[in-house]
Structure 1
Amino acid sequence: MPLDLKSLITARLGENYKLHEKHLNPTLVRVQQIIGFNQVYARAQGAYLYDLDERDYLDFLSGYSVFNIGRNHPVVQKAITDVLDMDLPNMVQMDCSLLSGLLAEAVLKKLPPHLDAVFFCNSGAESNEGAIKFARAATGRAGLISLHSSFHGLSNGALSVMGDEHFREGFGPLLDNCVRVKMGDLAELEQHLSRKDVAAFIVEPVQGKGVNYPTDDYYREAQKLCRKYGTLLICDEVQTGLGRTGKWWGFEHWGLEPDIITVAKSLSGGYVPVAAVVARRSIYQKVFSRLDRCVVHSSTFGRNNLAMACGLATLQVLDDEGLVERAQEMGAKLVARIEELKKKHSLIKQVRGKGLMIAIEFHEPSELSARMGWKLLHKVERELFAQMLVTSLFQRHRILTQLAGHAMDVIKILPPLIIGEREIDRFVTALDSVLADCRSFPGPIWDLGANFIKHSLQRSTVELAAAER
């Protein structure tokens, strides 16, 4: 009997969390239940998700910046069906496919000419793994430097340069010769570089965790130090690339000339995973240095036709719809509107970001009642306040956002680059309402916070009991 996928999905839609609890990750299911994110979505389009009752949810998370062009874009859909209709040979491996050559050509047109060689793979983590290997092969050095609070992926090498202890906990030992430095501290960076054993300094132009970036010449001066001591500069553009920050690439904000960049997420158009390592040709050839090493670094699905077609279509959409420029314009409007709320709500400490990669940071409010709730939540766990806001935005206003990172009073928003005034109005109005509710303590929004406190204390009790055993 042939598979009737449409009937299968229609019949079993709604079993999502039960299936995941039984067969996949019950811990994730439990967290989603606690924070009120256990929603079942039936379809998606553009900047919106829709539940079984056809209620819309404004997606200001974009699959962690996968959906820069919005969800289920028809141009990408057509590219996929065109490839399938043509019955093309795929992943022959011992050939050179046309589509991968075309996508490499298209990607390089968006980059400065010194970046002229592309390697395709599947994910951001895999692209950073590749960049680490390329840097070590090109320099003959083992050392790697990254920044505190950085995020470069969860596989072994990428995790080794991770700047967030939370993600590294329990997975050691990782790669040797990896150090993390403080953003802005050039003296510390030079101290490590001067040993001339560092292959690469890897940075996210705008950090995904916390949405932090230098406000001075730190990156440019760091690049000079890398040149001085023979260290390569890797820019992790997995989240910042392809228009997210209002420019094609995050490194453009500082006029950098990285030796290697990594690309992923939105290059897929939200359909088929595709990522890339883009490097100087001289670096690339140090990896594939002899005939017997022509496939010494490879990725089975890296150049598959569907992924390449999605990449080509995504680049076309970004160009045709002017989405890079739109990200800059809409981002500026969104930041300005939130800045207006700052005058009204003492909870808002800072609004920062580039393009449509934006963080809203909070601090202890001046109002006595709200301050009591703030102190109560922070006594238990720092990020509970921001999670309370994220959950309130979702449950009361059907807007999907996220915490910017562990132990942070920061909400991060990553809208699709297609948003307009309507979406900005909806988000700002909702945030205004949620922050206004925080002035009433006790009150419904603080009841939600109290529920998070209960679960946090229960978790601590379980962890203590396990440690004692």
Structure 2
Amino acid sequence: MTTEFDLGALLAERGAERYELHTKYLNPQLPRMLHTIGFDKVYERGEGAHFFDADGNDYLDMLAGFGVMGLGRHHPVVRKALHDVLDAGLADLTRFDCQPLPGLLAERLLAHSPHLDRVFFGNSGTEAVETALKFARYATGRPRILYCDHAFHGLTTGSLSVNGEDGFRDGFAPLLPDTAVPLGDLDALARELKKGDVAGLIVEPIQGKGVHEAPPGYLRAAQELLRRHKALLIADEVQTGLGRTGDFYAYQHEDGVEPDLVCVAKALSGGYVPVGATLGRDWIFRKVYSSMDRVLVHSASFGSNAQAMAAGLAVLSVMENEQIVAGVRRTGDLLKARLTALVDRYELLADVRGRGLMIGIEFGRPSSLKLRGRWTMLQAARKGLFAQMVVVPLLQRHRILTQVSGDHLEVIKLIPPLVVDEADVDRFLTAFTAVMDDAHSGGGLMWDFGKTLIKQAVANR
């Protein structure tokens, strides 16, 4: 006799084994890392910009699943759209028909970038980047892609080729022909373009690693250089797109910038169904799909699936109806202004930067002798430990989830759900101020934890 599958019963029976199951069958370093820094929590449910543990404790999410949860967890409009599309019983993914939802979502997306004409739907940000790289190389007939130092464009082989962090690239060569140029350095860009083999430049208008914004005027000037050399500008908006920076796309903060290809993903999913999209000019798509023989020359088995398309349509509807982008500008300006006001107050706080609800908090070498010795000790063990020392008490003592903005960086990145409100900003500032006060006291739990991190860093060398 067969038993009907009961997901609730399975979770009730085996859910408590979550860390053991991950250690045994998945990446064993993840639970190890979480145990080490005290992040081995058990979260039971999520709602909006908050999630809750088994005891009902409320945690503020300033990470948004690396930007996936743009509308927070379980937005009712997105949730209903997914129920509706499942109940519709569509003949999805036949692969030999044209369903309405992909066309409708493409139409809605392109309305936010009217200089672009067509969309390819994949399943993730790295797929969106892979698509852009393939299309740029094919359309131009050139092999080389330029990218910026410290960029992050994904971890599959093609996108890894334009990843500016050696820690991700080490051991995975050979990769695609590529060259890194400093973000903002037009002379370096011009030198590479003169070689005549460059298909395009891929750039994050605000880099996720370290939260570094392209200098004013750079994107427009880079675009002009690229066009002069018949190369393409590719904007990676996987993290910055869909309102994150206070405009629908981050490149729109600079007048006259019209990328040839734009990559989006993350928040388009509503936090439910993986989806990625590559938007581009008509002539590029027509070159790639130049005949009926080439109709499947670039495709994805789950691309354009009904659940992902329904989620994307619902997300764009919510963004318009709830005026999400305007809200991001207000809340982001408030958060950044209040954090910036703390820079003169705390000697360990070096800089606050970013746009909208993508903010980097950078720590730096203190001036006082008492703190300088502790700072130097941390840096000698491993750069980035002080930022980790801030992230940990924010979660353990204040129930606020944040992240260090990259390996060996003394930067915390805030990318909360776009629906955070003024009360959430108050809560974060209160907690962050308390952690900074503790750090500047020169003692206490925070520096004790620092000793643990130093031992761990030395042991891993």
**TM norm structure 1:** 0.96
Say whether residues 1:429 and 2:450 are aligned partners: no
1:166 shift after superposition = 1.0
1:343 shift after superposition = 2.5
Cross-structure match for 2:20: 18
Say whether residues 1:333 and 2:322 are aligned partners: no
Cross-structure match for 1:137: 138
Cross-structure match for 2:319: 318
Which one-letter code corresponds to 1:51 in the other structure?
D
1:260 shift after superposition = 0.3
Say whether residues 1:343 and 2:359 are aligned partners: no
**Is this contact kept in 2: 1:268–1:310, CA < 8 A?**
yes
Q: What fraction of aligned residue pairs are identical, expressed as a percent?
A: 49
Say whether residues 1:386 and 2:387 are aligned partners: yes
**Is this contact kept in 1: 2:155–2:168, CA < 8 A?**
yes
Cross-structure match for 2:242: 242
Output one character per residue of 1:314-351: Cα deviation in whole Å (capped at 9) or x when no partner.
00111111111111110100001111222221111110
**Is this contact kept in 1: 2:216–2:254, CA < 8 A?**
no
SS class of match (1:359): strand
1:371 shift after superposition = 2.1
Distance in 2 of aligned mates of 1:442 and 1:86:
60
Cross-structure match for 2:258: 257
Cross-structure match for 2:295: 294
1:16 shift after superposition = 1.2
Output one character per residue of 1:19-45: Cα deviation in whole Å (capped at 9) or x when no partner.
100110111111111111111110000
SS class of match (1:435): helix
1:458 shift after superposition = 1.2
Distance in 2 of aligned mates of 1:214 and 1:303:
32
Output one character per residue of 1:371-424: Cα deviation in whole Å (capped at 9) or x when no partner.
222111111101111011011111110100001111211110001111111100
1:10 shift after superposition = 2.2
Which one-letter code corresponds to 1:168 in the other structure?
R
Output one character per residue of 1:232-271: Cα deviation in whole Å (capped at 9) or x when no partner.
0000000000000000001101221000000100000000
**Is this contact kept in 1: 2:200–2:234, CA < 8 A?**
yes
Say whether residues 1:229 and 2:229 are aligned partners: yes
Distance in 2 of aligned mates of 1:130 and 1:167:
20
Distance in 1 of aligned mates of 2:81 and 2:303:
18
Cross-structure match for 2:275: 274
Cross-structure match for 1:467: none
Which one-letter code corresponds to 1:140 in the other structure?
G
| Aligned counterpart for 1:73 among listed residues 72, 75, 84 | 75
Matches within 5 A, 1:189-200: 189-200=189-200
Cross-structure match for 1:463: none
Distance in 2 of aligned mates of 1:192 and 1:215:
20
SS class of match (2:359): strand
SS class of match (1:351): strand
1:364 shift after superposition = 1.3
**Is this contact kept in 1: 2:184–2:215, CA < 8 A?**
no
Cross-structure match for 1:98: 100
Cross-structure match for 1:165: 166
**Is this contact kept in 1: 2:148–2:180, CA < 8 A?**
yes
Identify which range, 226-235 or 441-450, moves more after superposition. 441-450
Identify which range, 404-413 or 9-18, moves more after superposition. 9-18
5+ residue gaps, structure 2 = none
1:82 shift after superposition = 0.5
**Is this contact kept in 2: 1:372–1:441, CA < 8 A?**
no
Cross-structure match for 1:27: 29
Distance in 1 of aligned mates of 2:43 and 2:442:
33
**Is this contact kept in 1: 2:360–2:414, CA < 8 A?**
yes
**Is this contact kept in 2: 1:274–1:302, CA < 8 A?**
yes
Distance in 2 of aligned mates of 1:412 and 1:123:
21
Identify which range, 98-107 or 370-379, moves more after superposition. 370-379
1:442 shift after superposition = 3.3
Cross-structure match for 2:11: 9
1:171 shift after superposition = 0.7
Output one character per residue of 1:416-461: Cα deviation in whole Å (capped at 9) or x when no partner.
111111100010111100011012333211011100011111112x
1:174 shift after superposition = 0.9
1:216 shift after superposition = 2.6
Distance in 2 of aligned mates of 1:328 and 1:14:
40
SS class of match (1:239): coil
Distance in 2 of aligned mates of 1:388 and 1:140:
49
Distance in 2 of aligned mates of 1:122 and 1:457:
39
Say whether residues 1:206 and 2:206 are aligned partners: yes
1:366 shift after superposition = 2.5
1:7 shift after superposition = 1.6
Which one-letter code corresponds to 2:89 in the other structure?
D
1:120 shift after superposition = 0.4
Output one character per residue of 1:273-304: Cα deviation in whole Å (capped at 9) or x when no partner.
11101000100111000110011100010111
**Is this contact kept in 1: 2:273–2:311, CA < 8 A?**
yes
5+ residue gaps, structure 1 = 461-469
1:213 shift after superposition = 1.3
Cross-structure match for 1:219: 219
| Aligned counterpart for 1:58 among listed residues 60, 77, 82 | 60
SS class of match (2:235): strand
Which one-letter code corresponds to 2:213 in the other structure?
Y
SS class of match (1:360): strand
SS class of match (1:316): helix
Distance in 1 of aligned mates of 2:295 and 2:218:
38
SS class of match (2:159): helix
SS class of match (1:15): helix
| Aligned counterpart for 1:88 among listed residues 69, 87, 90 | 90
Say whether residues 1:411 and 2:412 are aligned partners: yes
Alignment RMSD, CA only?
0.9
Distance in 2 of aligned mates of 1:274 and 1:301:
9
Cross-structure match for 1:36: 38
**TM norm structure 2:** 0.98
